[in-house]
Chain A
Amino acid sequence: MTLSLKELSKTPSKMTSGHRLCAGCAEGIIVRQVLMATDKPVVVSNATGCFEVSTTIYPYTAWNVPWIHTAFGNAAATCAGTEAAYQSLRRQGKIKEEMKFVAIGGDGATYDIGFQALSGALERGHQFMYVCLNNEAYMNTGIQRSGATGVGASTTTSPVGSVIPGKAGYPKDLTMIVANHNIPYAAQVSPHNWRDTIGKCKKGFDADGPSFINAISPCPRGWRTDPADTITLAQLAVETCVWPLYEVENGTYRLTAESAKIADGKLAKRPLTDWFNSQGRFKHLLKDKWMSVVENAQADIDAKWEKLQKLCKL
């Protein structure tokens, strides 16, 4: 597949500038990449969250394509409803064109409150793509921990204290859980690698059935980082294997981009301390007091990386 920035720059902007996302927010970057991956008419369903409130403050809208938001825990069901209407009206000859349906939700809307609606929509086999913008906490309500928050992260509901080192427990491995619904396509992406992201989203849009894209989305406010570092941090997530780039296509696991290079020994796997050092939410972990958290987290990442590599060799 050939993708060139020159050609992509000519595609019409489906989500425009003028939205109210924070400086350095990765979400707008990711969604623009996602929507570049199809030239068919697309209907977007959006869960409640940063992205929803920042792009549709009445009477303004950042959307040049049909867009709907209903609630927090139901982006997949909302998307399923738009797709069900399409299937019915197309069968009746009232709609002629092929259309695409994409749901967007943050990690709270996807890993937590919208998990049931997502699982149901995947099982029913709607023709849609779900995109999770994973910034690893409830950022819209002020940085509360979610099921996607990394171990040890200090959030407003899992603050580091004198006896507790931030968020307890490891994040839910949602991409694996989704892939085990045996849908045609699931993948993890990172906004630093637009070619990998857009290529995967093309596969997702073209899949015969539901598809799922999980995107790591650095959040300067929640991660306590410089807005200028967003893309670098996204890349660091991949290079530390906190966020491996891979896809599951009709049951076959495949590492992609930097993650494939790390597995092949062509790129160094960076230590988790680099990840913790790069963000204010983790800086307390570098004290001697919490070194065991860092060691256990590294062991957890290593084990998950080994398991993923084995799946990719099957």
Chain B
Amino acid sequence: MDHKDIAINGDSAIALAWKQIDPDVCAAYPITPQTIIVERFSDYVADGEVNTEFVCTESEHSALTVCIAAASSGARTVTATASVGLGYMWEMLGIASGLRVPITMAVTNRALSAPINIHCDHGDAMASRDTGWLMIFAENVQEAYDNSIIALRIAEHKDVQLPMMTCLDGFILTHAIERMTPIDTNVVKSFVGEYEPVHPLLDWKNPVTHGVMDGHDYYYEHKYQMAEAMNAALKVTEDVLDEFAKITGRKYSLVEEYRCGDAEYVAVCLGSTFGTMKVAVDSLREEGKKVGVMMPRLFRPLPSEKIAKAVSGKKGVAVLDKFMSPGSYGPLFEDVATSALSLDKIPKMYGYVYGLGGRDAKVSDLRTVFTDMIDKKAKKVNYLGVKL
């Protein structure tokens, strides 16, 4: 195994993972802050370092369409997008999951228009969270790279057969250069293995019809099968993460917890904020405040039981959404609150909207999430850092 560390940004790290995986097909359309991924991957294609058929489509809608059809044909398929690009794919998101094709897609999280804004928030991912895709989030560049490899094994598992988004924060992770330990290419190849497609179209001697019309007599049952596949994905993900730990030494959990064990107040967040939050937690711990932070690494399927267990018995739980659902609550807030309904004693919960359109969430800002709870100043819904 090659343990030589490199300095690399998140997008280039994903392109490197793709090069090592050597997928059969990649179809994509450029959009900031995803573009570096396909630019770097184009270099690998141009130099003949991969066998991939690389299709530069005329839109994101066609990019995901090409991926769906290629995956249905029997090809291991990857793509990447962001923001309104993911929005433009929206019709095809449900078709990818409904057709049960295990595409993996890097989503470099960026705010949705309008106003147009190229910076990070989770509006794109959250607008897609009910489309039947598995979703995993990364705290840093290392995880963005690791998730790109892990995702294949989860998506392609025979009990799952669903597409998977690997989410990483736009610019914060896509463009920032961090230290990373790559995995030896042979180890990657043996970890992901040979792709074994289910009922591929190109097996023309055994013709199959993909994308049929369902009436009210079958549609519900086909959708129910997706619910079962999502349930199965919880166990599959745990198994894959265990196997990944064995080859890399990097142990990941469905819900990552930091100093939560004896904490009285905890925060829940997704993505790179988890790293900043750890610093805020450490500084408050030095002041004697019993606080902790957690991140559901796997967002779909939601590890609901683990979340409930992690927030059980806390005096206060703040849930941070890098997204606003105007007229309702943040989706992560709703997910955590719903998970906690299974507890005998439901902790106090507070929703925090923050970081929209790339608004920086500094350690000093994030400290107030805890101090507000401790000082009983936190409201049901709070808008962290908004200038009024």
Quick one: CB contact mask for A40-68 with B, threshold 8 Å, 1 for yes? 01110110000011001111010111111
A119 CA to B51 CA, complexed, in Å: 26
Taking a contact as CB atoms under 8 Å apart, the answer to whether B91 and A85 are in contact is no
A89 CA to B149 CA, complexed, in Å: 21
Q: Does B325 contact A (CB under 8 A)?
A: no
* Chain B hits for A66, CB < 8 A: 201-204, 207-210
A41 CA to B215 CA, complexed, in Å: 30
Of B59-67, B172-180, B249-257, B351-359, the one with at least 4 CB within 8 A of chain A: B59-67
Quick one: CB contact mask for B71-85 with A, threshold 8 Å, 1 for yes? 111110100000000
Taking a contact as CB atoms under 8 Å apart, the answer to whether B25 and A81 are in contact is yes
Residues 56-90 of A at the B interface (beta carbon under 8 Å): 56-59, 61, 63-71, 73-74, 77-82, 84-89
Option from B62, B210, B218 in Cβ contact (under 8 Å) with A67: B210
Q: How far is the CB of B60 from chain A (nearest CB, A)?
A: 11
* Chain A hits for B243, CB < 8 A: none
Taking a contact as CB atoms under 8 Å apart, the answer to whether A74 and B70 are in contact is no
* Chain A hits for B24, CB < 8 A: 85, 88-89, 92
Nearest opposing residue in chain B for A20, CB measure: B213
Most buried by B among A46, A68, A99: A68
Q: Does B127 contact A (CB under 8 A)?
A: no
* Chain B hits for A58, CB < 8 A: 212-215, 218
Known: A85-B75, A88-B51, A116-B59. A63 touches B209 (CB 8 A): yes
Option from A52, A87, A89 in Cβ contact (under 8 Å) with B213: A52
Q: Does B56 contact A (CB under 8 A)?
A: yes
Taking a contact as CB atoms under 8 Å apart, the answer to whether B202 and A123 are in contact is no
How many A-B contacts at CB < 8 Å in the complex?
164
* Chain B hits for A69, CB < 8 A: 210-212
Known: A56-B209, A66-B204, A66-B207. A85 touches B59 (CB 8 A): no
Nearest opposing residue in chain B for A67, CB measure: B209
Taking a contact as CB atoms under 8 Å apart, the answer to whether B75 and A78 are in contact is no
* Chain B hits for A142, CB < 8 A: none
Taking a contact as CB atoms under 8 Å apart, the answer to whether B215 and A70 are in contact is no
* Chain A hits for B92, CB < 8 A: 70-71, 74
Taking a contact as CB atoms under 8 Å apart, the answer to whether A120 and B70 are in contact is no
Taking a contact as CB atoms under 8 Å apart, the answer to whether B57 and A77 are in contact is yes
Residues 99-134 of B at the A interface (beta carbon under 8 Å): 99
Nearest opposing residue in chain B for A66, CB measure: B201
Nearest opposing residue in chain B for A63, CB measure: B209
Taking a contact as CB atoms under 8 Å apart, the answer to whether A41 and B59 are in contact is no
* Chain B hits for A85, CB < 8 A: 24-25, 53, 69-71, 73-75, 77, 201-202
* Chain A hits for B208, CB < 8 A: 66-67
Q: Does B58 contact A (CB under 8 A)?
A: yes
Option from B69, B207, B212 in Cβ contact (under 8 Å) with A81: B69
Option from B25, B59, B72, B215 in Cβ contact (under 8 Å) with A88: B25
The interface size of chain B toward A, counting residues with CB under 8 Å, comes to: 43
Q: Does B245 contact A (CB under 8 A)?
A: no
Q: Does B27 contact A (CB under 8 A)?
A: yes
Residues 26-42 of B at the A interface (beta carbon under 8 Å): 27
Q: Does B341 contact A (CB under 8 A)?
A: no
Q: Does A31 contact B (CB under 8 A)?
A: no
* Chain A hits for B56, CB < 8 A: 124
Taking a contact as CB atoms under 8 Å apart, the answer to whether B58 and A84 are in contact is no
Q: How far is the CB of A116 from chain B (nearest CB, A)?
A: 6
Taking a contact as CB atoms under 8 Å apart, the answer to whether A77 and B69 are in contact is yes
Most buried by A among B57, B61, B208, B209: B209
* Chain A hits for B91, CB < 8 A: 71
Q: How far is the CB of A269 from chain B (nearest CB, A)?
A: 39
Most buried by B among A57, A67, A84: A84
* Chain A hits for B61, CB < 8 A: 73-74, 77, 117
A233 CA to B56 CA, complexed, in Å: 42
Residues 45-61 of B at the A interface (beta carbon under 8 Å): 51-53, 55-59, 61
Q: How far is the CB of B74 from chain A (nearest CB, A)?
A: 6
Taking a contact as CB atoms under 8 Å apart, the answer to whether B75 and A89 are in contact is yes
Q: Does B95 contact A (CB under 8 A)?
A: yes
Q: How far is the CB of A139 from chain B (nearest CB, A)?
A: 16
Q: Does A299 contact B (CB under 8 A)?
A: no
* Chain B hits for A53, CB < 8 A: 213
Taking a contact as CB atoms under 8 Å apart, the answer to whether B214 and A81 are in contact is no
Taking a contact as CB atoms under 8 Å apart, the answer to whether A89 and B202 are in contact is yes
Q: Does A29 contact B (CB under 8 A)?
A: no
A85 CA to B56 CA, complexed, in Å: 14
A29 CA to B65 CA, complexed, in Å: 28
Known: A41-B204, A65-B204, A89-B202. A80 touches B66 (CB 8 A): yes
Taking a contact as CB atoms under 8 Å apart, the answer to whether A88 and B65 are in contact is no
A to B CB contacts below 8 Å, 7 in the list = A45-B69, A46-B211, A63-B207, A66-B208, A70-B211, A81-B70, A99-B202
- The interface of chain B, by Cβ under 8 A from chain A, is 24-25, 27, 51-53, 55-59, 61-62, 65-75, 77, 91-92, 95, 99, 201-204, 207-215, 218
- Contacts A73-B61, A120-B59 known; 18 new A-B pairs at CB < 8 A: A57-B213, A59-B218, A68-B201, A69-B211, A70-B99, A71-B91, A80-B65, A81-B66, A81-B72, A82-B69, A82-B72, A82-B201, A85-B69, A86-B202, A88-B24, A88-B25, A117-B65, A123-B58
Give the 7 A-B residue pairs with the shortest CB-CB distance, closest first. A81-B69, A120-B58, A85-B73, A69-B211, A85-B75, A88-B53, A77-B62
